[in-house]
Structure 1
Amino acid sequence: MALNANDRSIAGFTMTGHALVHWFETSIPIFLVVWIVEFDVSVAWIGIVVALGYAPFGLGALPGGILADRFGTKRLILFCLAGMSSAFLVLALAAVADSIYAVAVGLVLWGIAASVYHPAGLSLISTGVEERGTVFAWHGIAGNVGIALGPFVAATLLFVLEWQYVAAILAVPGLVAVAYGLRAEFDPVAATDATGSDSPQALSLSELRSNSRVLFASAFAIVFVIVTFEGLFYRGVLTFLPEILHGLPAMAEIELAAGLEGIEPGDYIYVGLLVVGMAGQYTGGKLTSRVPAARGLAVIFTILAVLALAFVPVTAMGLGMILVYCAVLGFFLFAIQPFYQEAVAVYTPPDTRGLSYGYTYLGEFGLGATSIAIGGFVLSESLGLFFAMLAGFALTGALLSAGLVVGLDRVGILATDPERAD
């Protein structure tokens, strides 16, 4: 079914925002490799620094969800776009201080600004769009475009420019998006029974406590934990994979043409993984209308656990198998995301959707960021142990998702849409 004008307007606005959030987010691991050399720090220490930036990206999602319900989703998304761009300009200036601590400050500012996007953007789609599954899919693809282009542009520019100039250049599209967003017009509640516009709504502390109790007395409590374990896996993989790929013996065997000696092949394999993730994101989004969210989560978590355990053996099979492995990993790493987004929509009422997505991304990106700090220390000890840790995260998510499939969702309040949950 074709999207109506309101759906198209919301899709364009949120796709732009989603692409840019991940444009910034996934360029950071490319800088991570540079910062290790630039500031002469260990993988464990840089893991802590990057975790300080990624943590508020998730921890701010809860207040972001509250603010989305109170002040309106469009305002929050515009703030996000302007704030992220400004933070990367601050990050560029951190090079003048020649301090890893200044870099940490820039990352924290980025994380605060970026934190409001997902609860605001997904809430806007869930309440304003009639063809929710389709727009979730396209929204996910846009995120993957940003996920792939961010590190690709960063890695390519780093071949010819100092990292601080690259950070400043990456900020420019966000400023352009603010100008576009100011002109966008749409009805943010067209898909609900509500009427009105994206206007301020009062949310008292007692209402916050009451709505939170309702959410966590239902199956959403299980969904929250599931999303947290997905975040632990996702963050651990994407943050350290560029550094891991750089160190593989197979990378040293790649012969580069004259003039390209400064290019890191591992960075472009990483980008390729993210590009394949677009297909996974789109496929997952389309399947949410056919496969119950909990069942889809259980299956994909199991696949991710197997892939994590297979990483070390695959690296001994040569470059070709590494490429195939990364493509498969990229597909399923992103195919899972529309399923947990749909699970939140299924297990929560519309009037707490902003709050529910706030909690969701508190788990995904906030609590999930702990795997960066932990992973840096584990990785410094053993590559195999690092991927065993990731497999444990995925297996836990699979077991919890299977619990939803067999009926744990019947504890407390039932799903908002029982027919879609079954």
Structure 2
Amino acid sequence: MTLNDNDRSIAAFAMLAHATVHWFELAIPIFLVVWLETFEISIAAAGVVVAAGYLLFGVGALPAGLLADRYGPKRLVLACLVGMSLSFATLALATSIYAIAVSLILWGITASVYHPAGLALISTGVEERGTVFAWHGIAGNLGIALGPFAAATLLLALDWRVVAVALAIPGALATLYGLRARFDPTAAVADDDGSATDGSSDALSAGEFVSNSRTLFAGPFLLVFAVVTVVGLYYRGVLTYLPELLNGLPALAVIEPPAALEELSLGDYFYVALLVAGMAGQYVAGKLTSRVSVARGLVVVFVGLAIIAVAFVPVSAMGIASILLYCTVLGFALFAIEPFYQEAVAVYTPPDGRGLSYGYTYLGMFGLGSLSIALGGFLLDHATMAALFATLAAIALLGAGIALKLLVGPAPGSESASTESTAAADD
């Protein structure tokens, strides 16, 4: 089916914002090398500064979800774009690593708003959710690839402070576009039961937050939250260390890059190929969400990720073509799971709590999921590469088990229907 005008308007706004979030997110590590030299600090100290921003990027998702339910997702997304752009622009004024830390913390806080607000907007405003989730994910991957590329390219000719301001310009342009965008944020649910939020609710007091959270986790969302956390553990665990592991493979060390690109290794190119393949994975999976139950899709992709993790060690000893094929398959599967878990949140939660639901979702994805970074570093330092990928395979199988329980459980909405029937009988 083709998208209607409202779907297209929401899709364009959300895709632009999503790409901008990841544009900033992946540009930060490029600046890290410059900051080490400029402020003469240790790698450990710089890592703590960067980690602070990334941590808040995940932790802030939960309160952001609450704000999305109260004030409406569009306002929150616009605030996110403004905040990220200003935070990056203030980097140019930094005179110490402490000032850098303040800017990155502000970026993390404002960036954390996007995922719960943007996904809530799609889930309540878009009729063809699967298709839009797919394009939305592809836009995020474009930001992931273009952000570091733009930062690295501009730093070849410009001072890093000028580059920081230059990178903030797309965020400002996205804000201007968003201010002009017109759409109905509740078009997909407004006719269901009148429970869709339009941002006018004054709920979400402390007591209602606890009550709404209990309601969410008393139902199938508990399993959805567990699934998303497992996705985060696998995602951070593999993507954090894969570039370093690829660059250390003997098969990739035999070919030197062109002189103009001597700072990059073949492993970096393969990593880019993985991200490009991820765009295809998101598109295909997004289309499948309208044809396959989300729980079934999650089981299949998790099993695939487990097999892919086990295959890394033997494939790493093969030739360049095999390794490139492996990266392509991994990227496709790793990002194919995103439309399925995003759709699962939309299927297994009520419309008026969608912002809260996505807040918890990205608390699990980016917050709890980041624990695998420490675990992966420990395994690589004190065990072997095989131990890391065996652990990732076990994590994926755990996800498959949780998704299987979701698959064989009650159909979406049956709990609410049962509750309503019981309440009617009591009346």
TM-score exceeds 0.5: yes
Distance 1:320 1:312, change over 3 A: same
Indicate whether 1:23 and 2:20 are aligned.
no
How big is the shift at 1:199?
4.1
How big is the shift at 1:280?
0.2
Task: Name the aligned partner's letter for residue 396 of structure 2.
Answer: A
How big is the shift at 1:167?
3.8
Q: Give CA deviations for 1:188-241 in whole Å, capped at 9, x if unaligned.
A: 111223499944321222222221111100011011011001011112222333
Within 5 A, what are the aligned runs for 1:61-140? 61-91=61-91, 93-94=93-94, 96-97=95-96, 99=97, 103-140=100-137
Within 5 A, what are the aligned runs for 1:233-312? 233-312=234-313
Match of 2:406 among 404, 407, 410: 404
The answer as to whether partners of 1:70 and 1:200 remain within 8 angstroms in 2 is yes
Aligned to 2:425: none
The answer as to whether partners of 1:33 and 1:243 remain within 8 angstroms in 2 is no
The answer as to whether partners of 1:211 and 1:352 remain within 8 angstroms in 2 is yes
SS at match of 1:345: helix
Indicate whether 1:371 and 2:372 are aligned.
yes
SS at match of 2:116: helix
Aligned to 1:190: 187
Distance 1:355 1:298, change over 3 A: same
SS at match of 1:336: helix
Task: Name the aligned partner's letter for residue 218 of structure 1.
Answer: G
Task: Give the Cα–Cα distance (whole angstroms) in 2 for the partners of residues 224 and 347 of structure 1.
Answer: 11
Unaligned stretches of 5+ in structure 2? 419-427
How big is the shift at 1:325?
1.1
How big is the shift at 1:342?
1.0
TM-score normalised by structure 1 residue count: 0.88
Indicate whether 1:174 and 2:171 are aligned.
yes
Distance 1:373 1:161, change over 3 A: farther
Task: Give the Cα–Cα distance (whole angstroms) in 1 for the partners of residues 293 and 212 of structure 2.
Answer: 25
Distance 1:153 1:227, change over 3 A: same
Range moving further from structure 2, 185-194 or 58-67: 185-194
Distance 1:53 1:387, change over 3 A: farther
How big is the shift at 1:77?
0.3
How big is the shift at 1:50?
4.1
Indicate whether 1:152 and 2:142 are aligned.
no
Task: Give the Cα–Cα distance (whole angstroms) in 2 for the partners of residues 149 and 337 of structure 1.
Answer: 20
SS at match of 2:261: coil
Task: Give the Cα–Cα distance (whole angstroms) in 1 for the partners of residues 56 and 323 of structure 2.
Answer: 33
Task: Give the Cα–Cα distance (whole angstroms) in 2 for the partners of residues 368 and 269 of structure 1.
Answer: 24
The answer as to whether partners of 1:219 and 1:410 remain within 8 angstroms in 2 is no
Task: Name the aligned partner's letter for residue 324 of structure 1.
Answer: L
Task: Give the Cα–Cα distance (whole angstroms) in 2 for the partners of residues 196 and 287 of structure 1.
Answer: 26
The answer as to whether partners of 1:51 and 1:369 remain within 8 angstroms in 2 is no
Q: How many residues align?
A: 412
Task: Give the Cα–Cα distance (whole angstroms) in 2 for the partners of residues 416 and 32 of structure 1.
Answer: 52
| Aligned residues: CA RMSD | 2.9
The answer as to whether partners of 2:68 and 2:199 remain within 8 angstroms in 1 is no
Task: Give the Cα–Cα distance (whole angstroms) in 1 for the partners of residues 136 and 311 of structure 2.
Answer: 31
The answer as to whether partners of 2:195 and 2:351 remain within 8 angstroms in 1 is no
How big is the shift at 1:111?
1.6
Q: Give CA deviations for 1:53-85 in whole Å, capped at 9, x if unaligned.
A: 222111111111110010111110011111122
Distance 1:315 1:92, change over 3 A: farther
Task: Give the Cα–Cα distance (whole angstroms) in 2 for the partners of residues 184 and 411 of structure 1.
Answer: 32
Distance 1:21 1:411, change over 3 A: closer
Aligned to 2:395: 393
Range moving further from structure 2, 312-321 or 276-285: 312-321
Task: Give the Cα–Cα distance (whole angstroms) in 2 for the partners of residues 411 and 9 of structure 1.
Answer: 28
Identity between Structure 1 and Structure 2 (%): 64
Distance 1:138 1:410, change over 3 A: closer
Task: Name the aligned partner's letter for residue 113 of structure 1.
Answer: T
The answer as to whether partners of 1:312 and 1:384 remain within 8 angstroms in 2 is yes
The answer as to whether partners of 1:348 and 1:356 remain within 8 angstroms in 2 is yes
Distance 1:46 1:281, change over 3 A: farther
Task: Give the Cα–Cα distance (whole angstroms) in 2 for the partners of residues 46 and 375 of structure 1.
Answer: 20
The answer as to whether partners of 1:187 and 1:197 remain within 8 angstroms in 2 is no
Task: Name the aligned partner's letter for residue 126 of structure 1.
Answer: S
Task: Name the aligned partner's letter for residue 20 of structure 1.
Answer: T
Task: Name the aligned partner's letter for residue 175 of structure 1.
Answer: A
Unaligned stretches of 5+ in structure 1? 418-422
Task: Name the aligned partner's letter for residue 272 of structure 1.
Answer: A
Task: Give the Cα–Cα distance (whole angstroms) in 1 for the partners of residues 50 and 414 of structure 2.
Answer: 38
Distance 1:383 1:24, change over 3 A: farther
The answer as to whether partners of 1:47 and 1:373 remain within 8 angstroms in 2 is no
Distance 1:328 1:282, change over 3 A: same
How big is the shift at 1:158?
4.6
Distance 1:258 1:106, change over 3 A: same
How big is the shift at 1:288?
0.7
Range moving further from structure 2, 254-263 or 142-151: 254-263
How big is the shift at 1:352?
0.8
Indicate whether 1:348 and 2:349 are aligned.
yes
How big is the shift at 1:104?
4.3
